[in-house]
Amino acid sequence: MIAGRMGWPGAGRGRAANLDRGTVYIGTTAQVGGLYPFVLGAGLPPEGVPIGPDMLTNELVCFDPGGWVGKYTQNPGVWIMAQPGAGKSAIAKRIAMVYSAYGHKVVVPGDVKGEYAPLVRTLGGQVVRIGRGLDRLNPLDSGPLRALLPTLPESRRLPLLAEINGRRGELLQALLATEVGLGRRPTATESNVVTHAIRVVSEKLLGEDPVVPDVVRLLRDGSDVLWARLMVDNEDEYRAHVREVTLALENLCDGPLSGLFDGPTTTPVDLTAPALSVDLSALLTAGNHVVAAGLLATWAYSYSSIDSARAVGLMNSPLVLPLDEMWRALRAGAGMVDAMDSMTRLNRSKGEVSLLITHSLRDPESLPTPEDRAKALGLMDRCDSVILGALSRGELERVSAQRPLTDAEMAMVASWSSPTITGLDGTTQQHRGRGKYLIKIGTRAGTPAKLVLTEGEKQLFDTDMAMRKGGNG
């Protein structure tokens, strides 16, 4: 028997002669929150990149760091942080792929593991592979300006040429500061002589790009200009000033970086392509110092090429810049820290969505000086959008010191944290927190979202292939 609208008939069976319509009360969240404290904040606006369902309300979560500037955020920088295997790269690739459809150019200036190459090729972009027997990159290359400079009037050509030589000098000095160079910052004297050597070599080549061996040759031979700059009167005094920096530059050509950055660029970057990746995976077997120096060189080359093209109107599209494996980049030293610091300060004016991806706030602690450590820690402060995947409680406390988290947010993210488990058959199980993220925009409450990948994305974003092959023998 089915109960009627008034309930079951009979004594004690809940039948009511009249139905109470109830009373509606209206109040502010500050007042009603005390009566019913489980009110959820408003979700993120449905704009930009679709991520997946909200883990609390099941509504669609979207993410638009570039489009929200001026409304919800002050800059388009994104800080992505999670344990290895939790899906940091997957959400970065989703953001890059969708923004590419919106007209952004995806630029990966240092793809350490080569994992962005399939995505870039799918987007119709260019992949440059740096390695012995592969592509070579000239750190002193003037990029797209080489063909344009001779056509410019002198009033525009000379300032641009000075800017190009200035960037060349900054890059060589940054490379000298790495472990494969001097292992320290060049002194004022060393910096002075390298800068002027680049200028002299550039003038002699009459519009052609110099290479590092050209600078080494000039430093070894000496010239009246260099003697005058160093204020020396004899060869022995000159040699004493330039010996160490000359040998360090030769090490960049003949040492562990031999064949990589010591000659003309073999494959110039195509700034008309919708996406670009400089693949450094062939350098992984050469050690962290070589990878760090390679990152520094490719970042400087790619970014200076883009800036140069913008300066003369050859490129106007906004960028998405994923910087994965950020800990490796930081180990490149002061030059890379300065480059990242400059990028995050100017990304709003240039329309660049920078994705800084790492797994620990301890990474900056490996930097040699307090100034570099302070700059590296400041990178997170200039990212108004923070995406947190599975992290330990201790790591979350370090994050909360810079970007306050509630106890509930910390408990939720920590609950996703778990070491990857290897089964008895040698196969590796998926991280329990994979694809789960807490997205914090400015000072808003965090939104927990679950990334849902399409079948095509699962193939493009797969970073566990090598691990599975190893596990299967």
Cα–Cα distance for residue pair 396/148, rounded to 1 Å: 50
pLDDT for the residue 21: 74
Structure confidence by residue, pLDDT tens digits, 366-386: 676 777 777 777 778 778 899
**Average pLDDT across the chain, whole number:** 81
Which of 34-48, 216-230, 362-376: highest mean pLDDT?
A: 216-230
Q: How confident is the model at residue 204 (pLDDT cuts 50, 70, 90)?
A: confident
Structure confidence by residue, pLDDT tens digits, 81-90: 998 888 888 9
Residue 316 confidence (pLDDT) above 50: yes
**More confidently predicted of 14 and 230:** 230
Sign of CA dihedral 306, 309, 313, 315: negative
pLDDT for the residue 472: 37
CA 310-315-320 angle, 5° bins: 95
Terminal C-alpha separation, the chain: 65
Q: How confident is the model at residue 33 (pLDDT cuts 50, 70, 90)?
A: low
pLDDT for the residue 396: 92
Q: How confident is the model at residue 308 (pLDDT cuts 50, 70, 90)?
A: confident
| Contact predicate 130/282, CB 8 Å | yes
Question: In terms of pTM, does the model score above 0.85?
Answer: no
Structure confidence by residue, pLDDT tens digits, 94-136: 999 999 999 999 999 888 888 899 999 999 999 999 888 888 8
Q: How confident is the model at residue 348 (pLDDT cuts 50, 70, 90)?
A: low
Structure confidence by residue, pLDDT tens digits, 261-306: 888 888 888 888 999 999 988 888 777 778 878 887 888 788 777 8
Residue 250 confidence (pLDDT) above 70: yes
Residue 361 confidence (pLDDT) above 50: yes
Cα–Cα distance for residue pair 30/37, rounded to 1 Å: 10
Q: How confident is the model at residue 425 (pLDDT cuts 50, 70, 90)?
A: low
pLDDT for the residue 471: 40
Residue 424 confidence (pLDDT) above 60: no
**More confidently predicted of 331 and 39:** 331
Residue 17 confidence (pLDDT) above 70: no
Residue 73 confidence (pLDDT) above 90: no
Architecture of domain 34-102+318-473: 3-Layer(aba) Sandwich (3.40)
The mean pLDDT of 342-356, rounded to a whole number, is 72
pLDDT for the residue 46: 87
pLDDT for the residue 421: 55
